[in-house]
A and B are shown apart, each in its own frame.
Chain A
Amino acid sequence: MQLALLSGFVVAGFAPLLHRWFGARTPLVMALLPAFLAAWLMGLWPNVTSGETLLLEWAWVPGLDITLTFLIDGLSWLFAMLITVIGALVLIYSGEYLRGHRDLPSFLVVITAFMMSMLGLVLADNLVTLFVFWELTSLTSYLLIGFNHTDPDSRKAALQGLFVTAGGGLALMAGLVMLAMAGDSWSLYELVQRGEVLRDHALYTPMLICLLIGAFTKSAQFPFHFWLPNAMAAPTPVSAYLHSATMVKAGIYLLARLHPALGGTDGWVITLSLVGALTMVTGAFLAIHHTSIKKLLAYSTVMALGTLTMLLGVGTQKALIAFVAFLVGHSFYKGALFMVAGILDHETGTKDVTAMGGLRQVMPLTAVVAGLAALSLAGLPPLLGFVGKELMLAAVLEAVDWRPLLLALALVAAILTLAAAAIVALRPFFGRRQETPSTPHEPPRAMLAGPAVLAVLSLLFGLMPGLLDSLASVTVAGIALEGGEGGAAEVHLALWHGFNLPLLLTFVSLLLGLLVYRHWDTLRTWLARLDPLMKRGPEAGYDALMAGMVAFAYWQTRMLQNGYIRNYLVMTLLVLVGLVGHALFFRHAPEFDLVLSVYLHEAIVVGLMVAGGVSACVMRSRLAAVAAVGVMGFSIALTFVLFSAPDLAITQLLVETLTVILLVLVLFRLPHFATLSTPGERLRDLVVASLTGGLITLLMLSVLAGERLPRISDYMIANSQPLGHGHNIVNVILVDFRALDTLGEVFVLALAAIGVYAMMRFHASSQWTQPSPRKNDDD
């Protein structure tokens, strides 16, 4: 199955080719991939709902304990299902939304790759694999957010999203490493069973902080929430996908996954509850501040993410059930609403809700879909959003810590969200018909299909929440604290819980929410006075940080990389001498016995080498200096021959030849030595050179003298033929034993060549002209 997932990346690569074959229907064809994966997941339904945990094992890099094992239980099944189903709908939708767009093929490549990365993230069992997919989602979402790459705002938003999430990714990596160290395993499946050990470990607090930074940045929790609304610069299918079911839920997924391992402590409960509640209110408050429909929805997503985090913080069984119901509900209605927003934008030519009105008459179907989804967002019966919100309020009423504060914040958020839902559903469709930049009419079927399916699903699961019972049971059992109360209890979701406090709260929020909606326009002008304060929010901090980093980079580049290659060389050599010298003298005292038994021919070769080195230093002509260095190089090759290392000798000879050629090519372009170094500089160079040479000599002698460590070459010699099927040990090491290193080196070589090429091109195009000593009669 891992192959099926990886094949998704291959399919992504073939998108341009498919586009040539199928033209505008390509998105429909591509949608078959997530549809197939969803069907496969559906086939696992009986296993998953019976509480089974499927581990599809596959070693990837066993030497480093990295596996491509997939872990499928309730939680990952749920996420994978949302990703594939909404992914298929979004692909169908994007075919219409981006019809005829020049960059449609590249869009398909990236969004499919993103989909696969996201799937890999939620299915990965290994921490390293999880991290790799996590970073892949950051990278692909960067490309998706910056899809309109000619627009500077769009590029800026994409970069901001990347910096925030990839920056958090660094913290996450540190956290994951600590997690693996503390739990002595890289497998999530094993780690979640070692909660006791992890929570008592000395690394618990730093580990928790790092993991939370990673999850909070990805899931746009306060104070990192600002990147998400800015990411609305992306085309709407991207927003519908990334910000309903996928990208931003990755952090939530991680938190839920780690809840049994790390949750339940004071640090976890308080941080998650408070950060979540704060994010929830901030999101809801900022949502009604905006008139752009996409921004409004983006902030309500921030609100939903805050709610989910808060529920994980509260962590009781009720809270976890609410978590599952709210998660599913939110993915459905938010995906639908984003797609409706895209339809409105597409049809009317504006994103501003205050500029729309009375669209109900021209787009009745869209109005119905929007209405259903918005009812779910508002948390009103009989939709799934209502089930989720009721459970959320009930869970908050039972919270152990900070109950009054959480309840107050949850109520405020509910009121404001209801107002936001009313704005989205009522404002564009009801009221007086307004003139819009383009004349709206009902969108094509393919565009309406996605939101309609999601809205109907919201309604279906709202009327029959029992359908989710078995899934919710196993998911809650999977993420509940081990030994916590009633982890394996049966879950019964219901629309109607009788007259109770949550229902009363819903009623109150309905009244107050409609009140807010009625006075929205006055409220907004009033809120506009807060603008100066808003400008000083976390985003200002981000901007200041970025500006500071650029200034620092500028400063240190001018300090360290001033363009004089001799300074680089001196710096590099001094660092080498410092580090190696420290290790040699302070950690292993150098000991050696100097035995001088030299043959005559060896002495001659060494003499040649020394002569070459000295003459290179004193020559006044560049060409002669190059020749002298060449003599030294060839003598070194000769040494290799004398000590029977033919491979090294051949390599050295060839490298030396080509180096001389390259140097000569460069030298022809330079003027004659204009100024020779001052005596002071020469002295400095002499000191550095002697230090380096002396140290390396000492190092060699002490390596030869005592065999402190076992020689690795013995293993290579013994196993070269049996394991590598080759007699040439050097080659077997290069292409078999150490092939990964070689692969890295080959990439470095390619990069260096590209660097040289780019640098020469840059010079060629600039006004850097130098009289060439020879005429070119190439042409």
Chain B
Amino acid sequence: MTRTGTLILNVAARLLLPLQLLFSLFLLLRGHDEPGGGFIAGLVAAAAFTLYLFAHGRRAMSEMLKVSPRDLVGMGLLFGVLSTLPAWWNGEPFFTAQWWTIPVIDFKASTPLIFDIGVYLVVVGSVLMAITALVKTDQHDDES
């Protein structure tokens, strides 16, 4: 399944990956006001890595990703749970959204954003986990 070969796909995947990742970050960060958000951004990033996987194979994609998709899922869940905690610090109910403005760049940071990043990571991790699991089994079949 993980077939390398066509030159156009190889080059396109290499060039498109950073663009797609940038786009996914863009979607993630603007999601609160414009169409976008963690889920969609996660799907875009997952699609980007999937394209890369088809062009260059599983091993190359794992090297590009650096972390295992399983760890991404775990980190995402952790972010999701962590975002519920700052409200406690202010004595407000569990999960109340907290907003802070970072002065110099005038960026509005918030617990919903942390939560959205968690969603993003879980989506990327889950999709890639399923796809690499399928691809891996293929490879195993070939060896056996």
Contact = CB atoms under 8 A, between A and B. Distances in A.
Interface of A: 58-63, 646-647, 650-651, 654-655, 657-658, 661-662, 665-666, 668-669, 724-728, 730-732, 734-736, 739-740, 742-743, 746-747, 749-750, 752-754, 756-757, 760-761, 763-764, 769-772, 774-779
A728 B34 contact: yes
A725 B108 contact: yes
24 contacts: A654-B43, A658-B43, A658-B46, A662-B134, A668-B1, A725-B32, A727-B33, A728-B31, A728-B33, A728-B36, A735-B116, A739-B97, A743-B84, A743-B115, A750-B122, A752-B126, A753-B126, A753-B129, A756-B130, A757-B129, A769-B141, A772-B138, A776-B139, A778-B2
Given A753-B127, A760-B136, 5 more contacts: A654-B43, A730-B35, A732-B112, A734-B116, A750-B122
B134 A61 contact: no
Nearest to B99: A725
Interface in B40-69: 40, 43-44, 46-47, 50, 57-59, 69
Nearest to B113: A735
Q: How large is the interface on B (under 10, 10 to 19, 20 to 34, 35 or more residues)?
A: 35 or more
B33 A59 contact: no
Interface of B: 1-4, 31-40, 43-44, 46-47, 50, 57-59, 69-70, 73-74, 76-77, 80-81, 84, 91, 93-95, 97, 99, 108, 110, 112-113, 115-116, 118-119, 122-123, 125-127, 129-131, 133-142, 144
A732 B4 CA distance: 41
Which label, helix, strand, loop or mixed, suits the secondary structure of the B interface?
A: helix
B35 A743 contact: no
Given A654-B43, A657-B47, A746-B119, A777 B4 contact: yes
B103 to A, nearest CB: 17
B120 to A, nearest CB: 10
B144 A669 contact: no
Contacts of B135: 665
Contacts of B36: 647, 650, 728, 731
Contact of B125 (A650, A665, A753): A753
A750 B34 CA distance: 26
B137 A760 contact: yes
Which label, helix, strand, loop or mixed, suits the secondary structure of the A interface?
A: helix
Contacts, number: 179
Nearest to A657: B47
A726 B47 contact: no
A654 B45 CA distance: 10
Contact of A728 (B37, B108, B126): B37
Nearest to A727: B33
Contacts of A62: 93
A650 B119 contact: no
Contacts of B134: 662, 665-666, 669, 760
A732 B33 CA distance: 8
Given A668-B1, A725-B108, A749 B136 contact: no
Question: Which 5 pairs across A and B sit closest by C-beta, in order of nearness?
Answer: A753-B126, A654-B43, A726-B32, A760-B133, A778-B57
A775 B131 contact: no
B58 A778 contact: yes
A726 B113 CA distance: 11
A57 to B, nearest CB: 11
Contacts of B34: 727-728
B53 to A, nearest CB: 10
A736 B97 contact: yes
Contacts of A760: 133-134, 136-137
Nearest to A6: B88
Contact of B70 (A666, A735, A757): A757
B50 A60 contact: no
Contacts of B70: 754, 757
B125 A647 contact: no
Contacts of A654: 40, 43-44, 47
Contact of B73 (A727, A735, A753): A753
A749 B122 contact: yes
Contacts of B99: 725
Contacts of B139: 776, 778-779
A749 B47 CA distance: 17
A529 B85 CA distance: 61
